[in-house]
Amino acid sequence: MRTVSELEERLARPSGALVDDLARLDGDIMILGAGGKLGPSLVRLALNATMGKKRIVAVSRFSEPGLAGALTAEGASVVAADVADDAALRELPDAENVVFLVGAKFGTQGAEHATWFTNSYLPGRVADRFRDSRITALSTGNVYPLVPVTGGGATEETAPGPVGEYAMSCLGRERVMEHFSDRYGTRLALIRLNYAVEMRYGVLVDLAQKIAAGQPIDLATGQVNVVWQGYANEVTLRSLLHADAPPYLLNLTGPELISVRQAAQALGRALGREPVFTGEEAPTALLSNAGRCHRTFGYPELTPAELIEHTAQWVAEGGPLLGKPTKFERRDGRF
């Protein structure tokens, strides 16, 4: 994966299990938020897995020039619409299966009202509009509290304890959609993802950029979860078959707890630069246990060592980046 086209092909390469699951799924698939960070690769993955046997509807404002045309050329039914507009939401076609990717994380400070609108109010409008559909909604592991690094991470049975308004608004997303599932019997899957990585963004890119620039890496958040974005996309689509009322809840991340210090040292060796550290590892971190996910959907295709190798090569060769740092090191919930 040394070029954008090679990366996009790998992200959109379906497994046999995904092909089989989507063949069992009744009806077409609508993806709301198809123009965001992970939307285009998820649309392409769905197209490749269904091979023209289902209509894949990609909905977004499509602010990136050329993206709508590219997805149309690849076989998606593209709808340019702002789902935050009630009239536009009402006019969307019905769909038996809906993947909801819309969310806001950064800029919470000073714009809390907009964050709550996007993460809590809008999901309720979508759940009401598509009450008769199966819905998979992307949530986040940020709904959990910081947990001891020696405990293996929060499970789906761990009580939520969001830190900061962003995380609170994401728990609001879950609760509001859960309300509509309870009210109408809507089949719903809530996917608590953290942290997805590919070569253009993610925790490993954040570390690699700091190492390359000689910037210090704060070790207070000393352990993290990472997972290959291609696997995250696949599980998100396959979870439609598990959507239920009450909602199906799933942690989505890799099976390992990653040491920030050790990952940075491995990246530094690959980049030929010595990482600079500051601070010491705290006894707690935002960590998820995704055992349920791995038992149901198998393990990610790429290991952390492979992700580190690919990321270091990409950054060293000046590959394009999305410029969207995760801010995983923040412990106060302010993004």
Read off the pLDDT of each residue in 28-42 and give the average, rounded to a whole number: 95
Q: Which sign does the torsion angle of CA 45, 50, 52, 58 carry? A: negative
Q: How far is residue 155 from each of residues 197, 289, 291, measured CA to CA in Å?
A: 21, 5, 8
DSSP string for residues in 141-180? GGGSPPEETTTT-B-TTSPP---HHHHHHHHHHHHHHHHH
Read off the pLDDT of each residue in 259-279 and give the average, rounded to a whole number: 97
Q: How far apart are CA 244 and CA 239, in angstroms?
A: 10
pLDDT digits (tens, 9 = 90+) for 57-107: 999 999 899 999 999 999 999 999 999 999 999 999 999 999 999 998 766
What pLDDT sits at residue 111?
78
pLDDT digits (tens, 9 = 90+) for 203-234: 999 999 999 999 999 999 999 999 999 999 99
What pLDDT sits at residue 250?
98
What pLDDT sits at residue 4?
94
pLDDT band at 108 (very low <50, low <70, confident <90, very high): low
Residues 6+ apart with CB under 8 A from 332: 163, 164
pLDDT digits (tens, 9 = 90+) for 276-298: 999 999 999 999 999 999 999 99
Q: Domains of the chain (ranges plus CATH)?
A: 4-316 (3.40.50.720)
pLDDT band at 1 (very low <50, low <70, confident <90, very high): confident
pLDDT band at 48 (very low <50, low <70, confident <90, very high): very high
Read off the pLDDT of each residue in 23-29 and give the average, rounded to a whole number: 96
Q: How far apart are CA 62 and CA 65, in angstroms?
A: 7
Percentage of the residues of the chain whose pLDDT score is greater than 90: 92
Q: How far apart are CA 37 and CA 63, in angstroms?
A: 12
Look up residue 120 and give its DSSP letter.
I
What pLDDT sits at residue 333?
82
Percentage of the residues of the chain whose pLDDT score is greater than 70: 99
